[in-house]
Every structure is written in structure tokens, then in C-alpha cells.
Structure 1
Amino acid sequence: MSIDTKSDGGRARARGMGLAAVRGLALALISLPGAVLCFVLSLVSLALIPIGVGIVTTPWVLTGVRTFADWRRVLAAEWGGVRIPPAYRPLPKGANPWTRTFGMLRDPATWRDLLWLPVDMTAGFITALLPAVLLFYPLEGFAIAAGLWRVLPDGYWYGFVPVTGQASAFGAGALGVVILFFAHFLTTPLLQAHFRLTGAVLGSNQGELTERVRVLTETRRDAVDTSAAELRRIERDLHDGAQARLVAMGMDLGTIEMLLDKDPAKAKQLVAQARRSSADALSELRDLVRGIHPPVLAERGLGDAVRALALRLPVASEVNVELTGRAEAPVESAAYFAVSEVLTNAVKHAGADRIWIDLHHTNSMLQITVTDNGRGGAVIGAGSGLAGIERRLGTFDGVLAVSSPAGGPTMVTMELPCALS
């Protein structure tokens, strides 16, 4: 058993070495021309700004640089586990070339990209190429020791070993063994060093913090606007609903007081009418309270509240809840109303006849997925219910993702960072 385990571990390490070497070689051969091209075009375009040509070309060139940098961010995350978040400032839509050019040039992330290009052409190229060199260069030493030295020109050197005969060829083979030994330990770390170098130049905590402040400012403004709209809705519902019924009840009771002695039968009818009005007012108040904060949510938590929502749906639904505790009340409320809005959209617009709802909590993140078998085509856009859900979740640093190809199915995923009590 132990021998098999060691053998499996050795094969896994060999595969890891080979993969790191191939990836490093691909990076070196593909990214070097790309970095050189982006750097040269950027310098030329910036130099042409004073004569006006660069005003038109610079946004396109810098957009290409950003695309190239974003591609390297993806590779750093997928191949090296190094996350390099972009921190570009947003540009106004439909801006003219002048605004776009100087908007990009005022962005510190643009200058980080331009600084990274020469670093990637030099130190980045070397750290990407070294894993392949360490793994493949020993093969030449082994070939020399096996007899390749006979066809090599006079004065040929393998590393620091001059190859003049069979003895020196064995020395080249020995050097290849030494290099392969070091490759065993250094191949993968060198590729990691390449991605960490990329992250050190491209990444910026300050830029990330600035973007974070901007997002929080927007979500706070959206939260204030949403709260104001909600207060206006509550005021309107109270004025047009329960308040009007209570005023009518007061008038009926005044009339009853006058008719008690003169017309008891009529007074009795008005009493019955006032009783119905009070029941209707109480029902409207309960609906209003349920719209503000459902009692089942406060008493039994998010899981049971979502189950109650599903029971009221006119289509078949399946709810799966894996929550070991309760989140804070504001988070539960945001999640509840977000799910409610998604379900309403699915029933009204998707034409679905079955809905699946999944709630679970992993890695300090409340994850909610709502899937329907409707017609699909849902998008997050201005004026849509999904945009409102995104703003609601953004108040709590949550995110919304929608997968809805034409013909369905539609999957809406919501994530909210929170801890369960």
C-alpha cells in the first residue's frame, strides 16, 4: 500500500512538473510578442497625442492592453491560483475619443499596465521560460552522453562543461542529472513566481480599495432610494387601504350611535358592516406587515419563510434548505425579498411549470439558487426586476448571476456574505 502511494505521488509530481514546464513555455512564446507589440503600440500612440492622431488611436490601443492584461489575470488565477483583481475606473458610455483618452490616462491602472509590459518582457519572460529550461535542457545532456557528442562541432559547451570526448560527454550527462534534480523542486515554484511577479505589478490594493469605496457609495445610494420608495409605498397603502376603512368605520359608528334608539334594525346592519370593515382593515394591515417583514421570517427563519413562499406559488416547486443557523435579520430580509422577486418573475414572465429553490451556506457565504424550466431570455437590465434585486443584494455586498439561454432553463444565483448564528 505504501509503495503504491509513493508511486502515485511520484507520478503526480512528474505530471505537475511537465504541466508547469509546458505552461511556462507557452507563456514565454506567446506573451513575449504580445507584450512587445502592446508596449510599442502604446508608446507610438501616446507620442501621437500632441498632433491629434493619438486622441483617436490611444483608447483602442489601451483597450487592447487591458484585454491582454485581463487575459494574463485569468491565467494567473487558473494556472497559478494568484488572483489579480482589475481596478479600472469606469468610463462614461458614449464618451468622445478625447474624454476616453484622458479618462484612461488619468486612471492609475493604465500606468500599472504600461509598467507591467516591460517587466513581463524581461523578468516575466525569464521566470516563465525557466521551468521549461530546467525540465527539457537535461535531455540534451543525456543525448550528448549517449553519443550525440560525436556530431557536435569542436568547442561545444553544455552549460559550463566543454564537450571534447566521451568523458566530458558523461560530465554533460551528470550535469543534466543535477539540473533535473533541481527541476524536481523548482519547476512549479518558478511558474508561481512568474504569476506572483505579475500580481505584484498589475495588482494594487489602493486601486481595489478605491473601487470598493465607489461600489459601496453606489449601493448605499441605491439603498437610500429603495428605502424612500418603500416608505412611500407603505404610506400610500396605509392611506388608501386601512386608513380609509378605519375612517369609514368611525363614520358608521357615529351613525349607529344616532340610530340605536330611532332605528335599531338599521343600526344592527351598520354594526355588521363595521365588523366587516374592521376585518378587512385588519387583513390589509397584516398584508402590509407581511410586505415589510413577514412574521414567518422573523419567527422561523429564512428556510421556512422560503418554503412558505413556495407553497403559495401556482406552479410545482421543490425547496432544498441546508442552513445550520440564522443570518442577521437585515440579511435574511434582503434574501427573502430577493427570492420572492425572482419567483414572481418566474411565474409571470418565464412561463415555467416547475421551480427548484436551493439554499445553503458555505465558506461564510449564503448561496441561493432559483431554477425554472421556463422559456429563458432573462437579463439584468435597467428597469427589470433583476436589476432591483442586484441593487438590493449589493447593499449587503452580495452578487447576482443569471444564466438564461433562449429556450431555458433559467438559473438565478444569489450570494450574500454572512455568518450564521
Structure 2
Amino acid sequence: MSDPPPQTRAPHGLGARLALVALALPLAVLAEVSIALFVIWIVGVSTLFVGVGIALLLAAMLGTRLVAGLHRQYASRVLAVPIARPYLRSAPGAGPVRRLSTVLTDPASWRDWAWLLVNATVGFALQILTFTLFIAGVFYLIYPFLWAVTPRQVFSSPFGFYTINHLADALVLVPIGLFFLSLWWLTALPIARGYARLAVSLLAPTKGSALRARVSQLTTSRAETVDTQAAELRRIERDLHDGAQARLVSLGMSLGLAEELLARDPEAARSLLAEARAATTSALAELRDLVRGIHPPVLADRGLDGAVRALALASPLPTTVSVALPGRLPAPVESAGYFAVAECLTNAIKHSRARSIAIDIGHADGRLQLRVRDDGQGGASLAGGTGLSGIQRRLAAFDGQLSLESPPGGPTEVRMSLPCELSSPRTSPSSGTA
């Protein structure tokens, strides 16, 4: 499931009403297209066992979902709420017949078909009403001007029974224009919102489909988390085997040789003990690095604030850190946030050619908000193999979200959020530059 778009304010004012007028005719045309699509559905179902029936149904499916998607976007903007796609997904690698079967058995498809009929009738009438009220209001408001600048026979009888012989007669129509414009002003937004709610009632996910999508998302994120944890365990095992374990084996051999040489060659034994001490130091350093990669001690001691500042201090690029957390976060959330920021910071250092990096951390609406921004060359993508997809999988295990803005030429901004509650108070927000 894609991340829902951020909520915005519902449109209002003159600009919003004029936008609704501009959209009225295109939406009315889509309403008539709905009739054509419904007819194609009927013909396709009637000829399903003929070769042309499958082609017609596939075409109708694509057209219907395109029209429904446009109306979801319209309703989302009018109501200022995100509206997700409710459709079931076909199995990977499914052929046209299997995909068509999924569409025909998908409850959301039947609701789309119902929407085609509703949109072709009620939707068409509502859009034409909004457009007509506005055009009529403007027409009668400027009628005296039109009467004055055109030949008399063109605008001489606006109602068929009221003949205009003088400009004063034309001015009588101005209040009618004001009446229509006032009616349009009062009804444009209510009509749009009612139309949008009607669309939502048929095109938005139902509780059942939302639950199925949620279960599918959790199943996918759980599988990805298990895979990630298995890969992390293999990495730890490999690091232990190739690093600290090898050094400890070498240390044991050096100590054994030193024990044998101690009596007959003290100088050689002393040299082996010095090598053993150096190997011990190296093994401890590798173990510390390994532990830091699993869960940094600074994260446990100083929380997300101190751990991220430690990352910034170690960064070769000027890195600004701004933290506004009113309390301590749960340890799993701190760990996920820390490693997400660390990966973003590593990506920026390695790939962005940036001159500076900014990290912002905050908490709002029960979610940890993370932002990493660099002034580099841009062009990053979630499919670019730079670790962002791994961050997305890590956050998905916590029901987190990641969004990326990285136009060519930069800047690149990664926004992440995790649901969490604060566990202990904090004195004040802090900021600084490393």
C-alpha cells in the first residue's frame, strides 16, 4: 500500500469556487464517459466467451479505474482527506485471464460499476448545475455591457418576453445576475463536497477492504522484517567469524607459543606477548564496532538526540542537527530512527556530492518525525540501490513511512515518521552544528 498523502486544508474562497467551475465541464464529460464505459462492461460480459469479450472487459476495466482514480483525487482535494485505492492485487506473474478474474471478483470493481451509473446521472446534473449558475450569473451581470457594444437585435430579448429598448432596461437584469452569482457562491462548495462524499461512499476502501489491505501490508512487512533480521544475524556471524574470532584464535596461539618460549627464550616470549596485547586491543575494537552496529551504547545512554549528534560529529561534511523532543522515546523506536538517520547520512556522504547536511528530529501527532536534507546533486530514488529501500522496510516494521524528494540538481530531502509515544519528559529542545 502506498503512503497516504499528507492532509491539507479543505479548499474555500473565491479561488476554490472558480476552480470548481473550471472542473465542472471536464467532470460532466467524464460523467458521459461513464455511460460509455458501463455499456462496454455490459457488452464485454455478454461476449465474455468470445475473444472480443475479454478485450472489451480489459479496456473497460482500465477506463473505469482511470475515471474512478480521477474522482478519488478530486474528492481527496475537496474533502482534504487521503483516499486510498481499494483494489485487490493480482498474484505476481498472473496472466490477463487471471487478472481479469481478480477484477471481476473484486468487490471494489462492482462498486466502481455502481459509481458509473451514479456519476452519469447525479454527477452530471450536479456539475452542470454549478456551471450553469456561474455562467448565468456572469451573463446577466454583464448584460448591459453586451447590449451596449453589440447590434440591438443580438441581445434584445433575454427572456423571450422582455424586450430591451434602452440601457436602463438592460440594467434591470443586473440584480438577476447578482442573484445567480450569490446562489452559485452559496451552493458551489456544498455541491462539490456532497459530490465528493458520494464518490467516497462508492470509491473509497470499505472497512473490510481496508482491513484486508492492512493485513496484506503487515504480512509483507513482517516477512521483510524477518528477512532483514536473518540477514543481520548472518552479518554478525560473519563479522565475528572473520574478525574477533580469528583474532582470538591468533591470540591463543601467540600465548601458547609464548608459554613454551618463556623459559628458554624470554625475548621471543616478550615479543609474542606484545603481539598478543596488540591482538587483544584490535579484537576489543572490532567487538566494540560490532556492538555499536547492533545497538550503539550512546543510544542507550543519551537517547536519540545524543546518538544522532555523535553521528554528526563523525561526519566529514558540516552537519546541522536540530532536535525538538519533549521526552525520551521507546528503545525500539529510538533504534529504528537512529539507524534510518545513519543510513541517510551515509548515503548523503557517499553519493550526493553535498557540501552540507541538515538533520531535523521532532515529535508531533503521536509520531516521531525525522528529516535529512542535503544540498547535493539530487537524483536519488527508492529503487536506486542506495539503501533507502532498506530504510523503508525497517520503518515498515513499525508502521512507519518514508517519502523522498530528490529532483535532478538537488536538493535531496528524506522524510520519515514512526508512530510512538513519549516515555519520559525532557527539559527543552536543542540544536547545534557538528
Question: Is the shorter-chain TM-score for this pair beyond 0.5, marking a shared fold?
Answer: yes
SS of equivalent to 2:402 = strand
Residue 199 of structure 1: aligned partner:
200
Q: For the residues of structure 2 that align with 1:14 and 1:219, how far apart are their CA atoms?
A: 42
Per-residue displacement from partner, 1:312-339 (whole Å, max 9, x unpaired)?
Answer: 2222322222222232211221121122
Q: What is the 5 A alignment of 1:293-332? A: 293-332=295-334
Change (3 A) 1:50 1:414: same
SS of equivalent to 1:315 = coil
Q: For the residues of structure 2 that align with 1:45 and 1:396, how far apart are their CA atoms?
A: 44
Return the offset for 1:415.
2.2
Q: For the residues of structure 2 that align with 1:236 and 1:13, how far apart are their CA atoms?
A: 60
Residue 272 of structure 1: aligned partner:
274
Q: For the residues of structure 1 that align with 2:259 and 2:329, how far apart are their CA atoms?
A: 52
Q: What is the RMSD of the two structures over their aligned residues, measured on CA atoms?
A: 3.6
Q: For the residues of structure 1 that align with 2:330 and 2:114, how far apart are their CA atoms?
A: 44
Residue 338 of structure 1: aligned partner:
340
Q: For the residues of structure 2 that align with 1:181 and 1:325, how far apart are their CA atoms?
A: 52
Of stretches 172-181 and 265-274 in structure 1, the one that deviates more from structure 2 is: 172-181
Of stretches 336-345 and 370-379 in structure 1, the one that deviates more from structure 2 is: 370-379
Is the contact between residue 347 and residue 386 of structure 2 (CA under 8 Å) also seen in structure 1? no
TM (norm. structure 2) is 0.79
Is the contact between residue 137 and residue 180 of structure 2 (CA under 8 Å) also seen in structure 1? yes
Return the offset for 1:21.
6.3
Q: What is the 5 A alignment of 1:16-415? A: 18-19=17-18, 22=21, 25-26=24-25, 29-92=28-91, 95-131=94-130, 152-153=159-160, 186-203=187-204, 204-381=206-383, 384-415=386-417
Is the contact between residue 83 and residue 199 of structure 1 (CA under 8 Å) also seen in structure 2? no
Runs of 5+ consecutive residues of structure 2 not aligned to the other structure: 1-10, 144-154, 163-172, 424-434
- Matched to 2:97, the amino acid is W
Is the contact between residue 59 and residue 101 of structure 1 (CA under 8 Å) also seen in structure 2? yes
Q: For the residues of structure 2 that align with 1:118 and 1:400, how far apart are their CA atoms?
A: 38
Q: For the residues of structure 2 that align with 1:110 and 1:400, how far apart are their CA atoms?
A: 30
Is the contact between residue 331 and residue 418 of structure 1 (CA under 8 Å) also seen in structure 2? yes
- Matched to 1:292, the amino acid is I
Is the contact between residue 383 and residue 389 of structure 2 (CA under 8 Å) also seen in structure 1? yes
Q: For the residues of structure 2 that align with 1:205 and 1:149, how far apart are their CA atoms?
A: 58
Is the contact between residue 41 and residue 56 of structure 2 (CA under 8 Å) also seen in structure 1? no
Change (3 A) 1:294 1:131: same
Q: For the residues of structure 2 that align with 1:30 and 1:417, how far apart are their CA atoms?
A: 42
Is the contact between residue 141 and residue 176 of structure 2 (CA under 8 Å) also seen in structure 1? no
Residue 8 of structure 1: aligned partner:
none
Of stretches 297-306 and 52-61 in structure 1, the one that deviates more from structure 2 is: 52-61
- Matched to 1:375, the amino acid is Q
Change (3 A) 1:228 1:149: same
Is the contact between residue 134 and residue 183 of structure 1 (CA under 8 Å) also seen in structure 2? yes
Q: For the residues of structure 2 that align with 1:141 and 1:114, how far apart are their CA atoms?
A: 40
Q: For the residues of structure 2 that align with 1:112 and 1:378, how far apart are their CA atoms?
A: 38
Identity of aligned residues (%): 45
Return the offset for 1:357.
2.1
Change (3 A) 1:376 1:186: closer
Is the contact between residue 318 and residue 355 of structure 1 (CA under 8 Å) also seen in structure 2? yes
Q: For the residues of structure 1 that align with 2:201 and 2:401, how far apart are their CA atoms?
A: 27
Runs of 5+ consecutive residues of structure 1 not aligned to the other structure: 1-11, 157-171
Residue 161 of structure 1: aligned partner:
none
- Matched to 2:105, the amino acid is R
Q: For the residues of structure 1 that align with 2:263 and 2:81, how far apart are their CA atoms?
A: 87
Change (3 A) 1:150 1:287: closer
Q: For the residues of structure 2 that align with 1:371 and 1:321, how far apart are their CA atoms?
A: 14
Of stretches 372-381 and 213-222 in structure 1, the one that deviates more from structure 2 is: 372-381
SS of equivalent to 1:320 = strand
Per-residue displacement from partner, 1:363-398 (whole Å, max 9, x unpaired)?
Answer: 223222222233333222285522212111111112
Residue 167 of structure 1: aligned partner:
none
Return the offset for 1:231.
0.9
Residue 169 of structure 2: aligned partner:
none
- Matched to 2:395, the amino acid is L
Return the offset for 1:232.
1.2
Change (3 A) 1:17 1:259: closer
Is the contact between residue 16 and residue 188 of structure 1 (CA under 8 Å) also seen in structure 2? no
Residue 8 of structure 2: aligned partner:
none
Return the offset for 1:208.
1.5
Q: For the residues of structure 1 that align with 2:280 and 2:263, how far apart are their CA atoms?
A: 24
Q: For the residues of structure 2 that align with 1:317 and 1:128, how far apart are their CA atoms?
A: 53
Q: For the residues of structure 2 that align with 1:79 and 1:220, how far apart are their CA atoms?
A: 35
Q: For the residues of structure 2 that align with 1:18 and 1:105, how far apart are their CA atoms?
A: 38
